[in-house]
Amino acid sequence: MIVITTPTGDIGRQVVDRLLDAGEAVRVITRDPSRLPKRVRASAEIVQGSHGDADTIAKALEGADRMFWLVPPPGFRDAGDAGHYYLDFTRHAAQEAAKRDVRMVGVTSLGRGYPDRAGLLSAALAMDEVIEAGGVPYRALALPFFMENLLRQARGIKEHATITMANAADRPLLTVATQDVADAAAALLLDTSWSGQARVPLVGPDNLTPDAMADTVSQTLRRTVRYHQVPLADFRAAMVRRGASPALARDMADMVQAQNEGIYDAETRDAGSTATGFRRWCQDILGPAVRT
């Protein structure tokens, strides 16, 4: 039995589809079963609740031998310190998985070894240490910036021909597509031969700056799209104005600062890359979203 967390999220839903396609027995944890696709409701076992809750995770792991682990983003308005949030959410799952010898495949950040504060990324890296300390067999999918983050820019691209972020315009920003993360996660969950603990960096084949990303988007849409870099202080203040808690705004700003300072280069990784390049992703995903 394979337990899947965040089965309605960008990555989790794709992992569920791949495992059901492979004929695996799947159990999903969700707060709201009505959000699950009809196929999942018909084919998977459902445990209702939060996978950060001790009783829920214990119930979900009963009789299971594998688990896909992903901590959902903290709440926009009521988020406290990201480090506490990640550790509190993960602690029960790590204990239950170790007790039951459940192998875990988890989503985390690339950048182990980065010496400074990195907000949400530091929290994810600390989460890995909690899981590893229990001795559970673990594969940590270490990821950079998601290409799908740019889907939030679809309206700005369509209406103003602009991509707006706080990331440095002229600094390469490593990226990965969620479909490649789901492919890697499903492959590890289906492979029953591995043991021990290891990190699995997943990075797309490009090494583009945000300026270069905007050029690629321009070529895809056949119209000029510019990149606009906002100061970190303005980025943080804008988050608070939109209703984010001060703690979350701080952690998000610290994350971008770390990206601007090269956190993703802090961790050694193989020369190989994932399959989806940024241009292809723009053609397949971003372009249709902007044109809708």
pLDDT digits (tens, 9 = 90+) for 5-42: 999 999 999 999 999 999 999 999 999 999 999 999 99
pTM (2 decimals)? 0.94
Q: Is residue 117 part of a domain?
A: yes
Q: How far apart are CA 65 and CA 145, in angstroms?
A: 30
Write the CATH number for 30: 3.40.50.720
| Tens digit of each residue's pLDDT (9 = 90 or more) over 57-92 | 999 999 999 999 999 988 765 667 888 899 999 999
Q: Is residue 199 part of a domain?
A: yes
List Cα–Cα distances, 262 to 28, 173, 286, in angstroms: 36, 8, 25
Over 70: is that where the pLDDT of 53 sits?
A: yes
- pLDDT score of 291: 92
Q: In the beta sheet, which residues pair with residue 45?
A: 27
What is the mean predicted confidence (pLDDT) over 223-246?
94
Over 90: is that where the pLDDT of 154 sits?
A: yes
- pLDDT score of 130: 95
- pLDDT score of 76: 63
Q: How far apart are CA 34 and CA 183, in angstroms?
A: 25
Q: Is residue 225 part of a domain?
A: no
Tokens (6 digits) for 152: 């939030």
What is the mean predicted confidence (pLDDT) over 117-127?
95
List Cα–Cα distances, 278 to 106, 207, 218, 272, in angstroms: 24, 9, 12, 16
pLDDT > 90 fraction of the chain, expressed in percent and rounded: 89
On the 0-12 / 13-18 / 19+ scale of CB atoms within 10 A, 214 is: buried
What b/e string do you get for 155-194 counting C-beta neighbours within 10 Å, with b at 16 or more? ebbeeebebbbbbbbeebbbbbbbbbbbbbbbebbeeeee
Q: Is residue 220 part of a domain?
A: no
Q: Is residue 98 part of a domain?
A: yes
Total structural domains within the chain? 1
- Residue 171 contacts residue 209 (beta carbons within 8 Å): yes
**Mean per-residue pLDDT over the chain, rounded:** 94
- pLDDT score of 82: 86
Over 70: is that where the pLDDT of 173 sits?
A: yes
Over 60: is that where the pLDDT of 229 sits?
A: yes
Q: Is residue 151 part of a domain?
A: no
Q: Is residue 119 part of a domain?
A: yes
- pLDDT score of 272: 73
What range defines the domain where residue 41 resides? 2-145+176-203
Q: Is residue 222 part of a domain?
A: no
- Residue 151 contacts residue 289 (beta carbons within 8 Å): yes
What is the mean predicted confidence (pLDDT) over 213-231?
97
